[in-house]
Amino acid sequence: NAGVTQTPKFRVLKTGQSMTLLCAQDMNHEYMYWYRQDPGMGLRLIHYSVGEGTTAKGEVPDGYNVSRLKKQNFLLGLESAAPSQTSVYFCASSQIGRGVHEQYFGPGTRLTVT
Amino acid sequence: TQLLEQSPQFLSIQEGENLTVYCNSSSVFSSLQWYRQEPGEGPVLLVTVVTGGEVKKLKRLTFQFGDARKDSSLHITAAQPGDTGLYLCAGSISSGSARQLTFGSGTQLTVLP
Protein backbone atom coordinates (compact mmCIF):
# COMPACT_ATOMS: atom_id res chain seq x y z
CA ASN A 1 0.00 0.00 0.00
CA ALA A 2 1.97 3.02 -1.28
CA GLY A 3 -0.63 5.68 -0.37
CA VAL A 4 -0.14 8.77 -2.55
CA THR A 5 2.77 8.88 -4.98
CA GLN A 6 3.98 11.72 -7.19
CA THR A 7 6.26 11.81 -10.20
CA PRO A 8 8.67 13.36 -10.86
CA LYS A 9 10.27 14.41 -7.56
CA PHE A 10 12.31 17.23 -9.10
CA ARG A 11 12.11 19.12 -12.37
CA VAL A 12 13.73 22.18 -13.89
CA LEU A 13 11.93 23.92 -16.75
CA LYS A 14 12.71 26.88 -18.92
CA THR A 15 10.13 29.63 -19.26
CA GLY A 16 7.52 28.65 -21.83
CA GLN A 17 8.07 24.89 -21.58
CA SER A 18 5.25 22.54 -20.65
CA MET A 19 5.07 19.57 -18.35
CA THR A 20 2.68 17.23 -16.57
CA LEU A 21 2.87 16.14 -12.95
CA LEU A 22 1.36 12.77 -12.14
CA CYS A 23 -0.34 11.83 -8.88
CA ALA A 24 -1.51 8.31 -8.08
CA GLN A 25 -3.33 6.95 -5.02
CA ASP A 26 -4.14 3.36 -4.13
CA MET A 27 -6.63 4.02 -1.30
CA ASN A 28 -9.72 4.17 -3.57
CA HIS A 29 -10.36 7.77 -2.47
CA GLU A 30 -12.97 9.79 -4.30
CA TYR A 31 -11.40 13.20 -3.77
CA MET A 32 -8.02 14.40 -5.02
CA TYR A 33 -6.27 17.75 -4.78
CA TRP A 34 -3.30 19.68 -6.11
CA TYR A 35 -1.62 22.28 -3.90
CA ARG A 36 1.40 24.49 -4.20
CA GLN A 37 3.55 25.44 -1.22
CA ASP A 38 5.60 28.60 -1.16
CA PRO A 39 7.63 30.03 1.75
CA GLY A 40 5.40 31.89 4.21
CA MET A 41 2.25 31.11 2.19
CA GLY A 42 1.28 27.70 3.48
CA LEU A 43 -0.52 25.36 1.10
CA ARG A 44 -2.75 26.88 -1.57
CA LEU A 45 -5.28 24.82 -3.50
CA ILE A 46 -4.83 24.85 -7.28
CA HIS A 47 -7.50 22.42 -8.51
CA TYR A 48 -9.39 19.53 -7.05
CA SER A 49 -11.58 16.62 -8.15
CA VAL A 50 -14.57 15.06 -6.41
CA GLY A 51 -14.57 11.96 -8.57
CA GLU A 52 -13.47 10.36 -11.81
CA GLY A 53 -14.10 12.66 -14.75
CA THR A 54 -14.70 15.77 -12.62
CA THR A 55 -12.46 18.74 -11.82
CA ALA A 56 -12.94 22.12 -10.14
CA LYS A 57 -10.89 25.28 -9.59
CA GLY A 58 -9.30 26.07 -6.27
CA GLU A 59 -7.77 29.25 -4.94
CA VAL A 60 -4.94 29.69 -7.50
CA PRO A 61 -5.92 27.88 -10.75
CA ASP A 62 -4.47 30.28 -13.35
CA GLY A 63 -1.75 28.76 -15.53
CA TYR A 64 -2.65 25.18 -14.61
CA ASN A 65 -4.94 22.50 -16.02
CA VAL A 66 -5.92 19.14 -14.57
CA SER A 67 -7.50 15.88 -15.63
CA ARG A 68 -8.96 12.92 -13.72
CA LEU A 69 -9.53 10.24 -16.35
CA LYS A 70 -9.08 7.41 -13.85
CA LYS A 71 -10.15 7.40 -10.22
CA GLN A 72 -6.65 6.65 -8.99
CA ASN A 73 -4.82 9.30 -11.04
CA PHE A 74 -4.88 13.10 -11.01
CA LEU A 75 -2.70 14.98 -13.49
CA LEU A 76 -1.54 18.59 -13.21
CA GLY A 77 -0.39 20.33 -16.39
CA LEU A 78 1.55 23.51 -16.98
CA GLU A 79 1.11 24.56 -20.60
CA SER A 80 3.60 27.44 -20.61
CA ALA A 81 5.70 27.55 -17.46
CA ALA A 82 6.54 30.88 -15.82
CA PRO A 83 9.09 31.68 -13.09
CA SER A 84 6.15 32.48 -10.76
CA GLN A 85 5.27 28.77 -10.90
CA THR A 86 8.51 27.82 -9.18
CA SER A 87 7.22 26.01 -6.11
CA VAL A 88 6.77 22.68 -4.38
CA TYR A 89 3.64 20.89 -5.59
CA PHE A 90 1.73 18.46 -3.40
CA CYS A 91 -1.02 16.08 -4.34
CA ALA A 92 -3.49 14.81 -1.75
CA SER A 93 -6.46 12.48 -1.61
CA SER A 94 -9.30 12.08 0.84
CA GLN A 95 -12.48 10.22 1.66
CA ILE A 96 -15.42 11.47 3.73
CA GLY A 97 -15.33 10.48 7.38
CA ARG A 98 -17.85 12.11 9.78
CA GLY A 99 -18.30 14.75 7.09
CA VAL A 100 -14.61 15.62 7.36
CA HIS A 101 -12.10 15.19 4.59
CA GLU A 102 -8.87 14.03 6.19
CA GLN A 103 -6.28 14.42 3.51
CA TYR A 104 -3.32 12.18 2.72
CA PHE A 105 -0.42 13.83 0.96
CA GLY A 106 2.22 12.69 -1.47
CA PRO A 107 5.92 13.50 -1.02
CA GLY A 108 5.86 16.51 -3.35
CA THR A 109 7.44 17.67 -6.61
CA ARG A 110 9.97 20.48 -6.49
CA LEU A 111 9.67 22.53 -9.69
CA THR A 112 12.04 25.29 -10.72
CA VAL A 113 11.26 27.49 -13.71
CA THR A 114 14.19 29.54 -15.02
CA THR B 1 -4.72 37.99 3.87
CA GLN B 2 -4.49 34.56 5.47
CA LEU B 3 -7.86 33.18 6.56
CA LEU B 4 -6.02 31.16 9.20
CA GLU B 5 -3.28 32.93 11.15
CA GLN B 6 -0.71 30.80 12.91
CA SER B 7 1.62 32.02 15.61
CA PRO B 8 4.42 32.06 16.22
CA GLN B 9 5.81 31.68 12.72
CA PHE B 10 9.11 30.32 14.06
CA LEU B 11 9.90 28.71 17.42
CA SER B 12 13.22 27.34 18.63
CA ILE B 13 13.35 25.67 22.04
CA GLN B 14 15.50 23.31 24.08
CA GLU B 15 14.64 19.67 24.56
CA GLY B 16 12.35 19.17 27.55
CA GLU B 17 10.60 22.54 27.31
CA ASN B 18 6.86 22.98 26.81
CA LEU B 19 5.35 25.02 24.01
CA THR B 20 2.04 26.15 22.56
CA VAL B 21 1.28 27.18 19.00
CA TYR B 22 -1.90 28.93 17.94
CA CYS B 23 -4.23 28.94 14.98
CA ASN B 24 -6.73 31.82 14.80
CA SER B 25 -9.41 33.05 12.44
CA SER B 26 -12.40 35.35 12.31
CA SER B 27 -14.33 32.58 10.53
CA VAL B 28 -16.18 29.66 12.07
CA PHE B 29 -14.90 26.22 11.08
CA SER B 30 -16.92 23.02 10.93
CA SER B 31 -13.72 21.10 11.63
CA LEU B 32 -10.05 21.82 12.09
CA GLN B 33 -7.04 19.63 11.47
CA TRP B 34 -3.40 19.75 12.47
CA TYR B 35 -0.65 18.39 10.24
CA ARG B 36 3.10 18.01 10.71
CA GLN B 37 5.47 18.31 7.79
CA GLU B 38 9.12 17.29 7.79
CA PRO B 39 11.67 18.58 5.27
CA GLY B 40 11.26 17.05 1.82
CA GLU B 41 8.01 15.32 2.70
CA GLY B 42 4.31 15.98 2.49
CA PRO B 43 2.17 16.97 5.49
CA VAL B 44 0.97 14.14 7.73
CA LEU B 45 -2.34 14.39 9.57
CA LEU B 46 -2.03 14.47 13.37
CA VAL B 47 -5.59 15.09 14.53
CA THR B 48 -9.05 16.35 13.57
CA VAL B 49 -11.29 18.28 15.96
CA VAL B 50 -14.94 18.91 15.16
CA THR B 51 -16.72 20.02 18.34
CA GLY B 52 -16.29 23.42 20.00
CA GLY B 53 -14.26 23.02 23.19
CA GLU B 54 -12.99 19.60 22.14
CA VAL B 55 -9.64 18.48 23.53
CA LYS B 56 -7.66 15.62 22.04
CA LYS B 57 -4.40 14.15 23.24
CA LEU B 58 -1.80 12.34 21.18
CA LYS B 59 0.98 11.22 23.53
CA ARG B 60 2.72 14.49 24.52
CA LEU B 61 0.62 16.60 22.13
CA THR B 62 -2.64 18.22 23.27
CA PHE B 63 -4.98 19.81 20.74
CA GLN B 64 -7.85 22.10 21.65
CA PHE B 65 -10.65 23.53 19.49
CA GLY B 66 -12.03 26.85 20.69
CA ASP B 67 -15.57 27.01 22.04
CA ALA B 68 -16.64 29.23 19.14
CA ARG B 69 -14.80 27.01 16.62
CA LYS B 70 -12.74 29.97 15.40
CA ASP B 71 -9.40 29.01 16.90
CA SER B 72 -7.26 26.10 17.99
CA SER B 73 -4.08 25.43 19.90
CA LEU B 74 -1.44 22.73 19.96
CA HIS B 75 0.50 22.20 23.18
CA ILE B 76 3.58 20.00 23.32
CA THR B 77 4.86 18.81 26.69
CA ALA B 78 8.54 18.02 27.17
CA ALA B 79 9.46 18.60 23.53
CA GLN B 80 11.93 16.26 21.88
CA PRO B 81 14.14 16.74 18.79
CA GLY B 82 11.83 14.37 16.93
CA ASP B 83 9.05 16.97 17.28
CA THR B 84 10.96 19.29 14.94
CA GLY B 85 8.93 20.17 11.87
CA LEU B 86 6.42 22.52 10.28
CA TYR B 87 3.05 22.42 12.03
CA LEU B 88 0.09 23.37 9.87
CA CYS B 89 -3.49 23.93 10.86
CA ALA B 90 -6.23 23.54 8.27
CA GLY B 91 -9.94 24.17 8.51
CA SER B 92 -13.17 23.55 6.67
CA ILE B 93 -15.32 26.70 6.63
CA SER B 94 -18.83 26.13 8.00
CA SER B 95 -20.44 27.95 5.09
CA GLY B 96 -18.16 26.50 2.46
CA SER B 97 -17.41 23.16 0.92
CA ALA B 98 -16.23 20.43 3.24
CA ARG B 99 -14.24 19.20 0.28
CA GLN B 100 -11.80 22.08 0.61
CA LEU B 101 -9.40 22.87 3.39
CA THR B 102 -7.88 26.26 4.08
CA PHE B 103 -4.34 26.03 5.44
CA GLY B 104 -2.48 28.37 7.74
CA SER B 105 1.07 29.39 6.85
CA GLY B 106 2.52 27.16 9.54
CA THR B 107 4.74 27.26 12.62
CA GLN B 108 8.31 26.06 12.08
CA LEU B 109 9.38 24.33 15.29
CA THR B 110 12.98 23.44 16.06
CA VAL B 111 13.77 21.44 19.19
CA LEU B 112 17.44 21.54 20.08
CA PRO B 113 19.06 18.60 21.91
Predicted local distance difference test score (pLDDT) of residue A46: 96
Predicted local distance difference test score (pLDDT) of residue B2: 57
Predicted local distance difference test score (pLDDT) of residue A2: 78
* Three-state secondary structure readout of A60-111: CCCCCEEECCCCCEEEEEECCCCHHHCEEEEEEEEEEECCEEEEEECCCEEE
- Of residues A40, A83, A30, A69, the one with CA closest to residue B103: A40
Residues of B whose CB is below 8 A from A58: 100
Predicted local distance difference test score (pLDDT) of residue B60: 97
Instruction: Flag whether pLDDT at A66 surpasses 80.
Output: yes
Nearest beta carbon to residue B98 from set A45, A90, A101: A101
Instruction: Flag whether pLDDT at A31 surpasses 60.
Output: yes
Mean pLDDT of A59-88: 96
- Is the Cβ pair A101, B99 closer than 8 Å? yes
Strands in chain B per DSSP E: 5-7, 10-14, 19-24, 29-37, 44-49, 55-58, 61-65, 71-76, 85-93, 102-103, 107-112
Nearest beta carbon to residue B100 from set A48, A99, A105: A48
Predicted local distance difference test score (pLDDT) of residue A102: 84
| Residue A11 touches partner B, C-beta closer than 8 Å | no
Give the pairing of strands B5-7 and A65-67: unpaired
- Is the Cβ pair B31, A106 closer than 8 Å? no
Nearest beta carbon to residue B103 from set A42, A99, A102: A42
- Is the Cβ pair A48, B99 closer than 8 Å? yes
Which tens digit of pLDDT belongs to each residue from A19-28?
999 999 999 9
Given a cut of 70, the residues of chain B with pLDDT beneath it are 1-2, 94-99
- Is the Cβ pair A45, B100 closer than 8 Å? yes
- Of residues B104, B83, B93, B91, the one with CA closest to residue B22: B104
